[in-house]
Chain A
Amino acid sequence: MPETLSPPPESCTIPVTGMTCAACSGRVQRSLEKTPGVTAANVNLMTGAATVSYDPDVTSPEQLVETIRATGYGAELPLPEEATEDLLGAQDEARAKEERELRRKFAVAAVAAVLTMVFSMPLAEMGRAMTDPLMRVMLPLSRGLRHLVPAVDRMSADGWRHALLVLTLPVVGWAGRQFYTRAWAAFRHHSADMNTLIAVGTGAAFLFSAAATLADDWLTARGVEPHVYYDAVTWIIALILLGNLLEARAKGRTSGAIRRLIGLRPTTARVMRSGREEEIPLAALRAGDEVLVRPGEKIPADGVILDGTSHVDESMLTGEPIPVAKGPGDPVVGATLNRNGAFRFRAERVGRDTVLSRIIRLVQQAQGSKAPIQRLADRISAVFVPVVLSIAIVTFVVWFDFGPPPAYLHALVSAVTVLIIACPCAMGLAVPTAVMVSTGRGAELGVLIKGGEPLERSQAIDTVVFDKTGTITEGHPAVRSVELAPEGDRTAVPDERRLLALAAAVERLSEHPLAEAIVAEADRHGAEPVRATEFESRTGRGVMGNVEGRAVAVGNAALLRELGVDPDPGASRADALAAQGQTPMHVAVDGRLAGLIAVADPVKPTSRAAIEELRRLGLETVMLTGDNRRTAESVAREVGMSRVIAEVHPDKKLAEVRRLQEEGRVVAMVGDGLNDAPALAQADVGIAMGTGTDVAMEAGAVTLMRGDPMGVVTAIGLARRTMRVIRQNLFWAFIYNVVGIPVAAGVLYPALGLRLTPTMAAAAMAVSSVSVVSNSLRLRRFASRGHV
């Protein structure tokens, strides 16, 4: 193969900035063309991109970027998705070309198939061709032909055979040529595929027919009837081409989700550079750039809003249908759609670091992975074709030795039928197409499943463990009520606002989440941002300090007792609040109980419905939390959870998950992916729940882009549905071959007299692989909310 000795050039597209006229692009192009190793360069001023073909042994994209920069223009390395986009473009092009070609070839083969069948009828009547059930359908055509051309009846059998040979030649030599060349290429590698089966099957039928046409006297003299099978050859090729055409179309749709994700990215960004608004290609956007976004525009990168307000549609990444209100300080995610307002934001993550890029990478990796269930299909595919070739030979021999006369014809037809009906494609497509469609569909719904293995494990889950804070609840405690103690000192603390302000002054110095809730509530009521002095924190009990000359302590009853303050006047209220799942914080001022502040982490609005759906799917739900038992049980009651494991230290969550597994359960653990990463890893399926902008996406086997517990239902529902489709596909592919091949070989003939013709085999084979891909494509219609 001398033509393949020199490595072919690689190509890349590099975004170039700063070009304003044709002279600029010309200069960049010339400098690229002069670079050693560059075989071709094309710089487009309109798109701001240089497309360069280069020899990877001599230069690299990095060096090409340097070359462009040396000319005084800006250049950036292309984003990884651009390479993917490039490949997807090439794939689309290849597929379109393949479809066009297949359509043309199918058209020619189909016309030839109909004609060969019509022309075979007179021969069949003479007993010189095999009959196919299809012929009955074609009978009117044959009669019509004879009616129109009476000379037809006068044509000899030999004449018919020659006419059929002429009709079949273009089908074998052109339309079906690909089967033979591809089979040969595989054969040289000691491998065999679908093409081998078609090539050997149609080749044998064609060669026998050609011999019967060209050397009929020689065959007749040796007692062999000169039968011809041209119609079978043309029908097989036409039907397989049709099958390939439909399969190519369906396969093109399996990668639709990744295309849509890549298509989400805008191509340019409008940035402020040296005080001027400038539109730059996306690849030139840097972290730290100030970006302007107008209504209706896509946000080009991840960042934080500096000024302006708007509603942002994040549905494409998180599946959240309602646009989210955004203002200064709020995070925005690249590729989401700005709806009504204009704003300025600072880009923080650009290029491959954006949420979208990470999603694309994860989905691509998932689609490249293998489900364990595929192993069996793989083992069978690896030996399938040679085994079928062997079965075909054995079929031939058995018919030849034991079949009714003319045994050699039955032997030939049965062997060809075995070769044609066998369908390795259905087996090869069964699992990967379903995994591709399902992971893609998951991404559209804001559920990232990291491959075939997590998918397969997810369907076996029987227990779902939820970390409470941030998954079942919002994760941001809020003040629910502020109450003055009945016997409190009214001069020091005249009202609830004052109580809150005093507590907040101490809590401002604390980092506890409960403290944040009190400070936020005080701020909301317009409290002065006073800070305590002599601050002291007692772990697990509370904090204290001096606020404007008053000794203020905020904490639990134990803290008050330690300080010699009697917490009893508030005890019954504190118990009542705790029973409702709230955390009562005692506030003491100058040695007396002044009041209670109740803080609670509100339950997410969809938690209850999600738990219900999970139960409907037959799953047990367990809450695992570091919180006290009473709070945990109260939340569990509110959402309808059956089992609570409370007061678990973060380090012990992993052990609790393991304990559940030791009970024989298949456990999914739902958490935020940050604090509970070890428990997520220990679980059979770790589900990390995020909120679009801040997701530990790489943690867990499944990532929910939205902080909605309903996503757990979607993930498990999708996994179950996918595995069902995979099992259907595999069952169909196996059964089809396991039943089809023996029937084609003629096992039913001795008892029932039933045989298949090669044409019927070709139709079955074409339907078989298309049906598998179509079945996988049904997953595109999977709806969230756990319809399984």
Chain B
Amino acid sequence: MTSAQIVVTVVGLAGVAWINWYFFLAGRGAAVAATAGAGGVQRVRIEVKGGYTPAVVRVRAGAPVRLEFHRDEVNPCTEEVVLPDFGIRTFLPAHRTTTVSFTPAEGTYEFACGMGMVRGQIIAEKNG
């Protein structure tokens, strides 16, 4: 093996390790708790740009939740948001805020783009 081959192999394997660390392990952003609004509605604003910020939302179970998706891009990958547990599939117009409302029972729910590539999570807790 030439030195070039050794270097390429080592760098390549390091690259694979880094990719798996970066996409699968490093990206877990902290969960953001919803803010209580008028009438007990819990509001969370979620930025949609290549992903969801925050991607993990903590809410109180049994109380109405309003997710305000602000989509700040035209990338069609994120043009829809789906909350399968609540039967919600809605279009998110670019550069606008679209609101989605539901009341979760205790549990963890997923929200994702129309094709399931971009994902987020709602954690509904009793005393959240």
Tell me which residues from 82 to 106 in chain B have a Cβ below 8 Å from any Cβ of chain A.
Answer: 82-84, 86-91, 93-99
The interface-forming segment of A187-195, A511-519, A684-692 is A187-195
Smallest CB gap from A91: residue in B: B91
Residues of A within 8 A of B91 (CB): 87-88, 90-91, 94
| Given A185-B75, A190-B22, A4-B70 contact (CB < 8 Å) | yes
- List the B side residues contacting A94 at CB < 8 Å: 74, 79, 91, 93-94
- What are the 4 A-B residue pairs with the smallest beta carbon separation, nearest first? A190-B27, A189-B51, A185-B50, A428-B115
Residues in B with CB closer than 8 Å to A188 are: 50-51
CA distance A88 to B98 in the complex (A): 12
Given the known inter-chain contacts A185-B49, A185-B51, A401-B9, please indicate yes or no for A194 contacting B77, CB distance below 8 A: yes
Least CB distance from A387 to B in Å reads 9
In the complex, A334 Cα to B74 Cα: how many Å?
Answer: 37
Of all chain A residues, the one with the shortest Cβ separation from B90 is A87
Inter-chain CB contacts under 8 Å: number: 159
Interface 1/0s, chain A 574-601, versus B by CB < 8 A? 0000000000000000000000000000
For A360-400 the 0/1 string (1 means CB < 8 A from B) is 00001111111000100110011101100110011011001
| Contacting pair B97 A10 (CB below 8 A) | yes
Contact flags (1/0) for A62-94 with B, using CB distance below 8 Å?
Answer: 000000000000000000000000011011001
A383 to B51, CA, bound (A): 15
B72 at the A interface (CB under 8 A): yes
* CB of B30 closer than 8 Å to a CB of A: no
Tell me whether A195 and B116 are in contact (CB under 8 A).
no
A195 and B19 alpha carbons, distance in the complex (Å): 16
Interface residue count on the B side (C-beta < 8 Å): 57
Give chain A's interface residues, CB within 8 Å of chain B: 1, 4, 7-8, 10, 56, 87-88, 90-91, 94, 97-98, 178, 182, 184-195, 244, 248, 364-370, 374, 377-378, 381-383, 385-386, 389-390, 393-394, 396-397, 400-401, 411, 424-425, 428-429, 432, 451
Closest to A415 in B: B12
- Whether B16 contacts A394 by the Cβ 8 Å rule is yes
9 contacts between A and B (CB under 8 A): A186-B51, A186-B77, A190-B26, A191-B118, A195-B75, A381-B115, A385-B117, A411-B8, A424-B117
How far does the alpha carbon of A364 sit from the alpha carbon of B99 in the complex, in Å? Answer: 16
A381 lies within 8 A of B117 (CB)? yes
| A382, B116: Cβ atoms closer than 8 Å | yes
Tell me the B1-51 residues at the A interface (CB within 8 Å).
Answer: 1, 4-5, 8-9, 12-13, 15-16, 19-20, 22-24, 26-28, 45, 47, 49-51
B73 close to chain A: CB less than 8 A: yes
Do A10 and B99 touch (CB < 8 A)? yes
- Contact A432 B115, CB 8 Å, known A87-B90, A182-B75, A185-B49: yes
- In the assembled complex, the Cα of A563 lies from the Cα of B89 at a distance in Å of 66
Contacts A1-B47, A90-B93, A382-B119 given; does A368 touch B72 at CB 8 Å: no
CA distance A393 to B47 in the complex (A): 32
Q: Quick one: given A90-B93, A90-B96, A366-B87, are A386 and B27 in contact (CB under 8 Å)? A: no
Chain B residues with Cβ below 8 Å from A1 are 47
Q: Are B82 and A368 in contact (CB under 8 A)?
A: yes
- Check B47–A377 contact: CB distance below 8 A: no
Contact between B50 and A365 (Cβ–Cβ < 8 Å)? no
Q: Assess the B50–A432 pair: CB atoms within 8 A.
A: no
Inter-subunit contact A195/B89 (CB<8 Å): no
What is the chain A residue whose CB lies nearest that of B16?
A: A390
For residue B64, CB closer than 8 A to chain A, the reply is no
Q: Are B50 and A189 in contact (CB under 8 A)?
A: yes
Q: How far is the CA of A97 from the CA of B93 in the complex (A)?
A: 12
| Contact with A400, one of B8, B89, B115 (Cβ below 8 angstroms) | B8
Q: Are B45 and A367 in contact (CB under 8 A)?
A: no
User: B53 at interface (Cβ–Cβ under 8 A)?
Assistant: yes
Residues in A neighbouring B15, C-beta threshold 8 A = 393
**Given A90-B93, A382-B117, A400-B4, 5 other A-B residues pairs in contact with their CB atoms under 8 A:** A91-B91, A182-B50, A191-B118, A400-B8, A432-B114
Nearest to B99 among chain A residues (CB) is A10
List the B residue with the shortest CB-CB distance to A400. Answer: B8
Q: Please give, as numbers and ranges, the residues of chain A lying within 8 Å of B26 by CB-CB distance.
A: 190
Per the bound structure, the CA–CA distance linking A403 and B5 in Å amounts to: 11
Is A4 within 8 A of B89, CB to CB? no
Q: How far is the CA of A302 from the CA of B31 in the complex (A)?
A: 46
Q: Give CA–CA (A367, B84) in the complex, Å.
A: 9
Q: Which residues of A contact B23 (CB under 8 A)?
A: 190-192, 385-386
Q: Which residues of A have CB within 8 Å of B117?
A: 191, 193-194, 381-382, 385, 424, 428
- Tell me, in angstroms, the Cα distance from A10 to B97 when the chains sit together: 7
Query: Nearest Cβ distance between residue A422 and chain B, in whole angstroms?
Result: 13
A374 to B112, CA, bound (A): 13
Q: How far is the CB of B88 from chain A (nearest CB, A)?
A: 5
Q: Which residue of A lies closest to B66 (CB)?
A: A56
A190 contacts which chain B residues (CB < 8 A)?
22-23, 26-28, 51
Which residue from chain B places its CB closest to the CB of A378 in the assembled complex?
B116
Which residues from B are CB-within-8-Å of A189?
27, 49-53, 55, 118
Residue among A185, A374, A386, A390 making CB contact with B116, cutoff 8 Å: A374
B53 CB contacts on chain A under 8 angstroms:
189
Note all chain B residues with C-beta closer than 8 A to A425.
Answer: 115
Q: For the complex formed, measure the closest distance between the CB of B103 and the CB atoms of chain A, giving whole angstroms.
A: 15
Supposing A94-B74, A191-B23, A425-B115 touch, asked if A368 and B50 sit within 8 A by C-beta, the answer is: no
| B128 contacts the other chain (CB 8 A) | no
A4/B47 contact (C-beta < 8 A), A87-B98, A368-B87, A369-B87 known: yes
Least CB distance from A3 to B in Å reads: 9
A91/B93 in contact, CB under 8 A: yes
Q: Which residues of A contact B27 (CB under 8 A)?
A: 189-191
Say yes or no: is B76 at the interface (Cβ < 8 Å to chain A): yes
Question: Given A368-B84, A397-B9, A429-B115, A7–B89 Cβ distance below 8 Å?
Answer: no
Query: Could you tell me the distance in whole angstroms from the C-beta of A189 to the nearest C-beta in chain B?
Result: 3
Is B12's CB under 8 angstroms from A368's CB?
Answer: no
Which residues of B have CB within 8 Å of A432? 82, 114-116
Known: A370-B84, A397-B9, A400-B5. A389 touches B19 (CB 8 A): yes
When chains A and B are docked, how far (Å) is the Cα of A432 from the Cα of B90? Answer: 13
CA distance A367 to B81 in the complex (A): 12
In the complex, residue of chain B having the shortest beta-carbon distance to the beta carbon of A402? B5
Question: For residue A195, which residues in chain B have a CB less than 8 angstroms away from its CB?
Answer: 75, 77
A195 → B minimal CB distance (Å): 7
Least Cβ distance of A89 to chain B in Å? Answer: 9
For residue A395, which residue of chain B has the nearest CB? Answer: B12
- Name the CB-closest residue of A to B15: A393
With the chains together, A390 CA to B88 CA distance in Å? 34
Is the Cβ of A394 less than 8 Å from the Cβ of B73? no
Bound Cα distance A367, B12 (Å): 43
Contact A8 B97 (CB under 8 A): yes
The CA-CA distance from A189 to B51 in the complex, in Å, is: 6
A1 CA to B5 CA, complexed, in Å: 43
Q: Is the CB of A368 within 8 A of B86?
A: yes
B87 & A365 in contact (Cβ 8 Å cutoff): yes
Q: Does B125 contact A (CB under 8 A)?
A: no
